[in-house]
């Protein structure tokens, strides 16, 4: 019996399937939740602080306002399911919040927020490919309009920028966002950019006819590969240094685990969530 197709594709799912098809199966087909980590929860907190900052009048977006935005976002953490599940020991809280504050402050070394004119924040966009029926989704950290009317897609990253030889591969997500903007607004963004707060660098690219066609082909090819893997119930494990951080190690045959046990565990988790 074929496995069900995932309901949609997104930049994070594209990257998950490219990194390891088996981990993608556990995440997107079996819908086994991944465990929150300190970097992911901290990243969400920093994103929330910067989103709040962008809702303020441009002239008032300074370091002290950003600190207040971080404090407001932090005040909501106790009710956040990921923060609760993370269960960070009390003696690590000070370091966690100090790191978040350092990252929010670092943002001001990357760009001047008083010059940013946001068109959308945490912008949800979708596009259904008429030929395959594939639903492509994305949540853009920030879409802005520059003074010449050009659109810019911006994604914040709380880690450090990659080695230049991997930089292009890390741009796939923002190019997918650019593609979604073009499909939804009828205009191709003039620029896509990643703001790396960890080492305060900007990596930018200019979408072109060629890059847009390349993204369309890549997304289509990945969807075809997922469709075939579902039909054959065959999602291959791809061992790499990323295995160290994989949430599904105990169910991975390459690590001595059992896929069947993972599938049963995921079904139980889904049933408990539905209760
Ligand atoms: S442990 Fe490695 S090979 Fe196994 S599922 Fe995870 S990422 Fe894939």
Contact 14, 219 (CB under 8 A): yes
What is the domain partition of the chain in residue ranges? 11-34+219-274, 38-113, 117-207
What's the sign of the alpha-carbon dihedral 251, 248, 167, 150?
A: positive
Alpha carbons 35 and 246: distance in angstroms, whole number = 10
Which pLDDT value is given to residue 1?
A: 66
Q: What is the pLDDT of residues 94-149, one digit of tens each?
A: 999 999 999 999 999 999 999 999 999 999 999 999 999 999 999 999 999 999 99
Cβ(248) – ligand 1 distance below 6 Å: yes
Alpha carbons 225 and 13: distance in angstroms, whole number = 13
Q: Whose CA is nearest to atom 2 of ligand 1?
A: 243
With a cut of 90, say whether residue 168 has pLDDT above it. no
Residue 172 CB-half CA count within 13 A: 18
With a cut of 80, say whether residue 275 has pLDDT above it. no
Cβ(249) – ligand 1 distance below 6 Å: yes
Q: Whose CA is nearest to atom 4 of ligand 1?
A: 252
pLDDT: which is higher, 74 or 168: 74
Tokens of 134: 């594939």
For the domain with range 117-207, which CATH number is right: 3.30.70.100, 3.30.70.3270, 3.90.320.10, 1.10.3720.10?
3.90.320.10
Cβ(243) – ligand 1 distance below 6 Å: yes
Alpha carbons 143 and 51: distance in angstroms, whole number = 11
């Amino acid at each position: 019996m074929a496995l069900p197709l995932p309901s949609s594709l997104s930049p994070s799912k594209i990257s998950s399937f490219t990194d390891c098809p088996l981990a993608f199966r556990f995440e997107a087909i079996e819908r086994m939740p991944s465990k929150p980590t300190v970097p992911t929860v901290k990243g969400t907190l920093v994103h929330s602080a910067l989103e709040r900052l962008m809702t303020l009048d441009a002239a008032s977006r300074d370091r002290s306002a950003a600190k207040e935005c971080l404090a407001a976002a932090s005040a909501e953490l106790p009710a956040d399911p990921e923060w609760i599940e993370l269960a960070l020991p009390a003696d690590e809280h000070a370091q966690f919040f100090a790191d978040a504050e350092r990252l929010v402050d670092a943002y001001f070394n990357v760009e001047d927020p008083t010059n940013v004119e946001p068109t959308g924040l945490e912008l949800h966009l979708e596009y259904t490919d008429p030929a395959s029926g594939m639903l492509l989704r994305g949540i853009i950290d920030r879409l802005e309009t520059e003074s010449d009317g050009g659109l810019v897609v911006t994604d914040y990253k709380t880690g450090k920028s990659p080695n230049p030889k991997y930089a292009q591969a890390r741009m796939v997500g923002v190019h997918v966002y650019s593609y979604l903007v073009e499909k939804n607004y009828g205009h191709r963004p003039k620029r896509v950019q990643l703001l790396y707060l960890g080492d305060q660098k900007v990596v930018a690219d200019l979408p072109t006819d060629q890059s847009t066609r390349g993204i369309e082909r890549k997304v289509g090819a990945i969807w075809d590969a997922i469709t075939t893997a579902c039909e054959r119930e065959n999602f291959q494990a791809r061992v790499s240094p990323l295995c160290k951080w994989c949430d599904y190690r105990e169910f991975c045959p390459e690590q001595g685990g059992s896929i069947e046990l993972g599938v049963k565990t995921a079904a139980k988790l889904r049933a408990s969530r539905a209760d």
